[in-house]
Structure 1
């Protein structure tokens, strides 16, 4: 008989916030779908009866696996403390891996090399394997170019071979992806999408924000900047703790619509903005799945817009059914939770023109992310007037929604004259780290004020 040191799957709930009333002939139904997971346990592995040592586990695959990809290109040696901090951060993350979880460390240059365990498979976390991994990290040296797609492909292979259900990657880079074509990175991301989730970090200021955010977006993870390499250890430890809290993977948001109705878009809007619309996988003529990745104890919000057939006053219909589904090998997917979106046509102008507070809030948060990115692009291109207008609008939206962190980051790029009206002046000098931080974190949102 086996003892189980494995993750307990979280319980899911789905809530819908919408104004269901439409004017006569109205066709667009907007809703915020809040998904909450609670009660998830820790990740681990099935152990032999009476044993607490993962080294003598049953010969089963680990329930969870994680691969840490560390940039060891030549630029990581300038200054030498950068690689030293990366070693220390990776070591701290490994110490955070729970017993029984599969893990590996990949050194990334213009090629990818598995430095631990080095046998084409994941090691199973235990005091012994963590100590061995620390020893391997001590032999990391910097040299070579940068081809991130090769790192991701190796991580995918390692995780595939592990048989782990919950698969995660952590990627650190300090430079631009200069030794492979953009199309090669895109192909690698397409290859890895759905195989594992990945958090990506850029250290210093010599990397490309769009590359790092592209990786995180494609692999349903987070992206961030660690401007000071000294902050890597704290950041890596936090990321790994969050990864260890995941209890279920491959959850999809399934939207079913009746005849004549069609999903216009699906966007994750909290904790960050992510457009899921192009990732739809059709289930049948009336339903499609949108990937949401792995879950622990957490809550996320999604903005869904459905176009329905026009109807007259007094009519009502089911606009969509939202379900959370989990694949079941050899059988139909398991439905974890569901909720309904409705449409009711009315001649009450006050009812039909009211905007649900959650919908209004997240519409503003999505616009906030968009105008920050547009404003920074205009600033880089030398269009000061256009940049001022966009970043001024961003300041206005951040203030109105209570997004204080984004407001703080904006204040390092513009001088705020009047936040309420969005009146700002571009700063003459902006630290590169401040501009990159604002761009990288532009998609982070705050939830509706209670």
Structure 2
């Protein structure tokens, strides 16, 4: 059975006379029990940081090896895979050469043996790791997924070089990033994961790596459709101001537009499995019209890699002089606007705290506490409570803690872009 896709639109289509901005939440859902992508059409690349810092403590590299072996064992027979080691250079550990090999009892055993021989030495240059992964995956047209594990900062290449690497490989495969320990930079891994349509998270204790790798690999292997795009058409005189994934995590797709026709652009959404649902916040600027006028402000279509339209929704604009209609706020739009503000407040507060600006840190983290309380984001509220003493969540009255564990601060930062879904309607 193939997946069935649907695009639902949640908005207040009524605008006051002269208004030009239309906001809507697009909920894209995939239903059905389609089989995962055929094994020969799925490819997995495991990228393991083996820089010198992985030696300390010794359990770190040992846990990384174990996790990589677990991921290898999770692959279905026939899935193509490779293992890479990353330092200030990048190297294919398995298979011999620079390609992919089909998973089987024999190749899994050989790959595990190659992983056990890994030693930690050298620096860190993640752009080179991604470029090698791209070369390994070159020519494979199906599901392409990678896991990138690191424990340190990207010290052995310039930010500009990483930018060039991301510009070259973005959209060619998906990367889920994991930072082990607390010596890596959240902003660096978030930058990579967002460019590669993946996830980022912290694994503070190396003992948790194996289960995390198992879950990521299983999720990747469960995808049923690869390379789905959200295609937006806007009428003459209109333009897309932004398109952002709003749930299950925040991701700005505005700059990822690829022109696909007259007044039409495609935005990547990655691979899908049955039962998945994602929300996107669309903002369109249109030509203002007079009271009583109606228009189709945008048409959103979900499109497969082959160009088949999988689902479609319409964003409308109606101009009215009824203030009761035009001032009504869409609950869905309001919710995700608040979630975006919550993530921003957390990042700004943590940056101010690192810079020693206690007043700004207190104000921004207090605002985050208030927003988390109002939106029911209990998981975020619990993480905030490890960084500030919450005196009154309703007003956002907080006091900075004098001592905060690095792992707690990085966990809050890493998961600040994970959003709480809103009830529709």
Same fold (TM over 0.5): yes
What is the aligned counterpart of 1:315 among 281, 293, 298? Answer: 293
Where does residue 363 of structure 1 map in the other structure? Answer: 337
Asked if the contact 1:43–1:98 (Cα under 8 Å) also holds between the matched residues in 2, the reply is no
Where does residue 195 of structure 1 map in the other structure? Answer: 172
Displacement, 1:296? 1.5
Any idea what SS the aligned residue of 2:261 has? Answer: coil
Any idea what SS the aligned residue of 2:404 has? Answer: coil
Where does residue 207 of structure 1 map in the other structure? Answer: 184
Structure 2: 5+ residue stretches without partners = none
Residue 255 of structure 1 pairs with residue 232 of structure 2: yes
Q: How does 1:2-81 map to 2 (within 5 A)?
A: 10-39=3-32, 40-45=34-39, 62-81=40-59
Any idea what SS the aligned residue of 2:184 has? Answer: coil
Residue 93 of structure 1 pairs with residue 71 of structure 2: yes
d(CA) in 2 for partners of 1:128, 1:13: 42
Displacement, 1:188? 1.0
Asked if the contact 1:44–1:98 (Cα under 8 Å) also holds between the matched residues in 2, the reply is no
Where does residue 416 of structure 2 map in the other structure? Answer: 442
Any idea what SS the aligned residue of 1:441 has? Answer: helix
Any idea what SS the aligned residue of 1:283 has? Answer: strand
d(CA) in 2 for partners of 1:218, 1:413: 29
Structure 1: 5+ residue stretches without partners = 1-7, 46-61
d(CA) in 2 for partners of 1:264, 1:139: 51
What is the aligned counterpart of 1:147 among 107, 125, 148? Answer: 125
d(CA) in 2 for partners of 1:186, 1:133: 31
Residue 173 of structure 1 pairs with residue 150 of structure 2: yes
d(CA) in 2 for partners of 1:116, 1:390: 47
Where does residue 363 of structure 2 map in the other structure? Answer: 389
Asked if the contact 1:403–1:446 (Cα under 8 Å) also holds between the matched residues in 2, the reply is yes
Displacement, 1:214? 0.7
What is the aligned counterpart of 1:268 among 238, 245, 256? Answer: 245
Alpha-carbon displacement from aligned partner over 1:86-113 (angstroms, at most 9, x marks no partner): 0010111111111111011001111111
What is the aligned counterpart of 1:432 among 398, 406, 410? Answer: 406
Q: How does 1:226-375 map to 2 (within 5 A)?
A: 226-297=203-274, 298-328=276-306, 333-375=307-349
Asked if the contact 1:43–1:101 (Cα under 8 Å) also holds between the matched residues in 2, the reply is no
Q: TM-score, normalised by structure 1?
A: 0.92
Any idea what SS the aligned residue of 2:416 has? Answer: coil
Displacement, 1:285? 3.9
Q: How many residues align?
A: 422
Displacement, 1:164? 4.0
Q: Which consecutive segments of 4 or more residues in structure 1 shift more than 3 A?
A: none
